[in-house]
Structure 1
Amino acid sequence: MNTDNGEVSQETIFYYRQKGDIVWATYEGGDILFGTLSGSITGDQLTFTYQHQNLQGDFKTGKCTSIVKFENEKLALHESWEWTCDDYSKGTSVLVEI
């Protein structure tokens, strides 16, 4: 789930890694050709920056805070994000473990 001004869709797959309180990921799919994010986790909150290239060839950047929840036996990230490029708009997303 994503607000209309975002580029992540149900077809976007994230591959997360963690070492201590450092978290990073790659992601791709849907309108995203390839992306990366990096940040940290404190308690149930992730804070990170991200960047990706979309299928139109545009490079996008942003920042995000996610709350980690356990719902229906799966991890879910409830995200509040903001573009740090273009219109600097804000949005929300929910990423669910597959």
Structure 2
Amino acid sequence: MINYNGRTFASVQTTENGEVNSNTIFRYYQEGSVVWADYAGGGIARGHLIAAVNQQGELDMRYHHVNDKGEIMTGQCYSRPVILPSGKLQLHEEWQWTCRDFSRGHSIIEEQ
């Protein structure tokens, strides 16, 4: 199983309806099958996520953040890890807002 504890990620790709960008930094932690992260930057004042990880390292998560407009945003996300030739991780994410317009999108974040 992949251990996410202590890993740092940044966004490398997202759909237009997403709010993160390359200046958004995610700091991941893990205890057993529970993963969580803090994130901020690139239009995000402060955010958090909580996830359950399976044996393949896939994450089923829920997230919330306050954006730079002062809006509270919430969503759900399914992340699939890809191990790069360098040994670093990319997370390929399919997500949906659970607020505002309930639109869907996809993103890729990469270990720094």
State the identity as a percent.
44
Structure 1 position 69, deviation (Å):
1.1
Q: Which runs of 5+ in 1 are unaligned?
A: none
Residue 81 of structure 1 aligns with which residue? 95
Alignment of 1:45-64 (within 5 A): 45-64=58-77
Whether the 8 Å contact between 1:69 and 1:75 is mirrored in structure 2 is yes
Higher relative contact order (CA 8 A, sep 6+): 2
Structure 1 position 72, deviation (Å):
3.4
Residue 49 of structure 2 aligns with which residue? 37
Q: Give the structure-2-normalised TM-score.
A: 0.86
Structure 1 position 60, deviation (Å):
0.1
Q: Give the count of matched residue pairs.
A: 98
How big is the alpha-carbon RMSD for the aligned residues of Structure 1 and Structure 2? Answer: 0.6
Moved over 6 A (4+): none
Q: Which runs of 5+ in 2 are unaligned?
A: 1-12
Give, as a single letter, the amino acid of the residue that structure 1 aligns with 2:109. Answer: L
Whether the 8 Å contact between 1:44 and 1:69 is mirrored in structure 2 is no
Residue by residue, what CA displacement relative to the aligned partner does 1:42-82 show, whole Å, maximum 9, x if unpaired?
02310010000000000000000000111132110000000
